[in-house]
A and B are shown apart, each in its own frame.
Chain A
Amino acid sequence: MIEFQQVTKRYDSDHTALRQVNFSLSRGELTFLTGHSGAGKSTLLKLIMLMERPTAGKIVIGGQLLNTLPRRQIPYLRRHIGVVFQNHQLLFDRTVFANVAMPLEVMGTPARDIGRRVRAALDKVGLLSKEKMNPMQLSGGEQQRVGIARAVVNKPPVLLADEPTGNLDPDLSADIMRLFEQFSQVGVTVLIASHDISLINAMGRRTLTLEQGRLVAGAAHGH
């Protein structure tokens, strides 16, 4: 589902964020991405989202080679990739429902389907009763779950998460991880960037480890 071949990203002559990274994730796989700050986790996620273009190497998502994807096609690619952020990027000028509905609106989903699918997503993360509230009224864990609902509302085949448990206590983190596991069980390819080693170890999943832009562990398949 996600494939990196010899991917290098250089920002300028003395800053190389990723060096010759090779890996591939298959459908329904849940994988962690770890490494110190500045090891290249964000860069890797941004390359998948096409917020950045690789300097060298190939990136293939769902059979689509990203290197040659024209700029105006980028939005259509992003509709197939759900993203969860540490700071969850919710909009506080609208309700929880409206936040979750955004990916459907940009796709031109008919209004009658939007209601049904937003409620299904909110139900999935256990926040159906809070759809009319403002995200500001919710706790940190709940806000993160709204972010997850928004990321999966259009059933993307790929789900990326950037430090999704960064601000949460261990219990809430475990809850969130269980959600991600459920998504991978229904075939979603999940990639979670995190430096929470204890959580990663507890999950016992395949882990890609980056060190100064190099992939030092997890490149091969298997746990």
Chain B
Amino acid sequence: MATDPLLRRPKPARAVGRKAPLLPEAAGIYLAHHRQVAKDSAQRLWRAPLASLMTWLVMGVALALPVGLLLVLSSVQGVSAGWDSSARITVYLADQVTLEQARRLRADVAARANIQEVVLVDRDTALQEFRTGSGLDEALAYLDENPLPHSLLVTPDESARTAAAVELLADSLGAMGEAARVQIDLDWLQRLSAITRLLERVVWVLALLLGGAVILVIGNTIRLAIENRRDEILVAKLVGGTDGFVRRPFLYTGLWYGLGGGLVALLLLGLALWWLSGPVERLADLYRSQFELSGLGLEGVLALLGCAMLLGWLGAWLAVKRHLDAIEPGVPAGSG
């Protein structure tokens, strides 16, 4: 039988009986098609505003929850990072250390790396401060001699103010022969940071679970959309639509659901921040802290929207994989 050249070269962008389009033209057509499909699927969502809004809300809540918690956590971690005043280490020197020796020691420590400032508090000054500060003036008068040692107030460099670095510094200071005791006002911070680390894990687990839920919600929504457009899918496959062609509108639908969900999440986060900021400020004031709830920032906003769209796309992809490939042109009705 005759070989028909038309059937020999099955190429996607080939118009039967005409010269194959040049590559740039084919790419242009491809992009135009993508634009068209993106627009169509967005319009479809727009035409069913209530149903789309419900999906967006579900997604928005599921996204806003973990992101909000992460924001709170990072604000709390900001507190432990900015604890300048408590970053001081007090080194109580041994009783027999003379003032002269203490001065030399102060200079030694101050010369070290990672040290911002070292203040020597001699025992007389310390007693003075204690008297005025404690109100035990009279009781102290009964003492024969000053029971307080000289001490050094060491402030580490900005860079060395992490819990671990401070601890390391304290250890090395304590190792000096002249030091009797080293005290860091760090315990509560360590506890706080342990708690936030734990909470961070909890939030990530929550984020994973909710992300999974988002994928399932989108997947189910797309499954319904596929069912609704079953006839169209069949016809498209019958006239030679590739799998990619048939999938494309649903994948774009997933992307748009993701974008909408991300925007709703941003809105919810904005509202929550606004609503919480007053009480938080008051609380922070009571603790004389610089604590404030920070927003997402531009990068965060883009990351959230990107993640939301990725999740939407993923959900759509799963649904498409499971349900779309199963729709194949079957029995043409009418004859046996």
Interface residues of A (CB under 8 A from B): 1, 3, 24, 26-27, 35-42, 45-46, 49, 51, 60-64, 72-73, 75-80, 83, 85-87, 89, 91, 93, 102-103, 105-111, 113, 150, 154-157, 162-163, 166, 193, 195
Contact = CB atoms under 8 A, between A and B. Distances in A.
Nearest to B228: A93
Interface string B1-14: 11110111011111
Interface string B23-34: 001100110110
B240 A42 contact: no
Contacts of B236: 102, 106
Given A62-B7, A64-B7, A79-B10, A42 B235 contact: no
Interface stretch (B110-118, B168-176, B241-249, B305-313): B241-249
25 contacts: A1-B1, A36-B336, A37-B335, A40-B336, A42-B334, A51-B328, A62-B3, A62-B4, A62-B6, A63-B2, A63-B3, A63-B4, A72-B242, A77-B10, A78-B237, A79-B239, A86-B333, A89-B238, A107-B240, A108-B12, A110-B21, A113-B15, A162-B332, A163-B335, A166-B334
A76 B334 contact: no
B33 A157 contact: no
Contacts of B15: 107, 109, 113, 154
A172 to B, nearest CB: 16
B336 A37 contact: yes
Determine the main DSSP class of B at the interface with A. loop
Interface residues of B, number: 44
A79 B236 CA distance: 11
B8 A64 contact: yes
A107 B13 contact: yes
B234 A89 contact: yes
